[in-house]
Amino acid sequence: MSSTEKAYSVAILGATGLVGRTMLQVLDERDFPVRKVLPLASAKSCGKEIEFRGETYLTEVPSHEVFSKADIALFSAGAAASRQWAPVAAEAGAVVIDNSSAFRMDPEVPLVVPEVNPEAIFGAGGRPKGIIANPNCSTIQMVVVLKPLHDRYRIRRVVVSTYQSVTGKGKAGRDALEGELAGKIPESFVHAHQIAFNAVPHIDVFQENGYTKEEMKMVNETRKIMCDESLSVSPTTVRIPVYGGHGESLNIEFEDDFKIEEVRELLAGAPGIIVQDDPSSNLYPMPLTSYKKDEVFVGRIRRDFWHPKTLNMWIVADNLRKGAATNTVQIAEKLIGIL
């Protein structure tokens, strides 16, 4: 941070959780101009120590008074806490960037992935909205890849199958896998069934239409972010026993024809994407590839055998970083110099 750059007071609701702690790491790594951190947590976590840039902060419970001291408030404490406190924080003068599902489909709240629709952050007069929503982790990495392809070829339909890390369930999801691997079988499973040595096609609750809530998030959020209600998304979401990194298999049908080499060039030149696509050298993305990285990794790029205007590919991103904390901080970076 330069000596002339304005610094900001940043509140973090859910500062003791996996995503909250990752937000602090990302703020530091990306040299975000922080004047002061205001770590917030539930009453049971109140008073816990949080370290940031050599300073020790004690967590507090959220309140209007605390939020009145913040310029930006990063939320990652679940939808119930967001519904309770985001309007309070916004009324107190902070710009809230919310990582929960509470406001994603609210027509008055922008749903933002900076590589895709950064303009949505700002309302009339170029000022940011009081609440900005961070999309679901599985949606974020997909739309980063879809955006340059949609601009060039126009997407008709996407069939997506996800292979999602246990950390998508936070610390509880990670601890459940570790416990099961150690032979501790719980009375009730965090992931609906045993996750060790297994794959569970059940993320969030099932809806009346047979899809899970996680799957419907991918449908509805993608359309909102891409500003295209005609876009068809057909998802199946699966939890697998890895610690970090969501994988997604994409089958993308276009209106226009494409050349594979042009697709690779488009993706390689797009922000936030790293192409790793050389099967002859066993080069393709894996969860370990993306672990603690901020980019979306793309590989296994190939034309569908039976539908010439359809493309197959495999993408991976760290769900705690690009799928949550990094995307949140990237939105905050768009506010630098404006607040």
Q: What is the pLDDT along the chain (339 residues), one digit of tens a residue?
A: 555 579 999 999 999 999 999 999 999 999 999 999 999 998 888 889 999 999 999 999 999 999 999 999 999 999 999 999 999 999 999 999 999 999 999 999 999 999 999 999 997 667 788 999 999 999 999 999 999 999 999 999 999 999 999 999 988 999 999 999 999 988 899 999 999 999 999 999 999 999 999 999 999 999 999 999 999 999 999 999 998 899 999 999 999 999 999 999 999 999 999 999 999 999 999 999 999 999 999 999 999 999 999 999 999 999 999 999 999 999 999 999 888
Q: Domain-by-domain residue ranges, the chain?
A: 8-135+325-333, 138-319
Q: Which residues are catalytic?
A: 137, 246
The Cα–Cα gap between 321 and 294 comes to 6
pLDDT at 232: 97
Q: What is the pTM of this model?
A: 0.95
The Cα–Cα gap between 295 and 322 comes to 7
In CATH terms, is domain 8-135+325-333 a member of 3.40.50.720?
yes
Q: Tell me the two tokens of residue 128.
A: 């940011």
pLDDT at 246: 98
Residue that is written with structure tokens 């797009």 in the block: 270
The mean predicted confidence, pLDDT, of the chain is 95
pLDDT at 125: 67
The Cα–Cα gap between 323 and 326 comes to 7
Residues 116, 192: contact at Cβ < 8 Å? no
The Cα–Cα gap between 145 and 268 comes to 10
Q: What is the CATH number of domain 138-319?
A: 3.30.360.10
- pLDDT tens, 203-247? 999 999 999 999 999 999 999 999 999 999 999 999 999 988 999
Residues 292, 318: contact at Cβ < 8 Å? yes
pLDDT at 326: 98
pLDDT at 40: 97
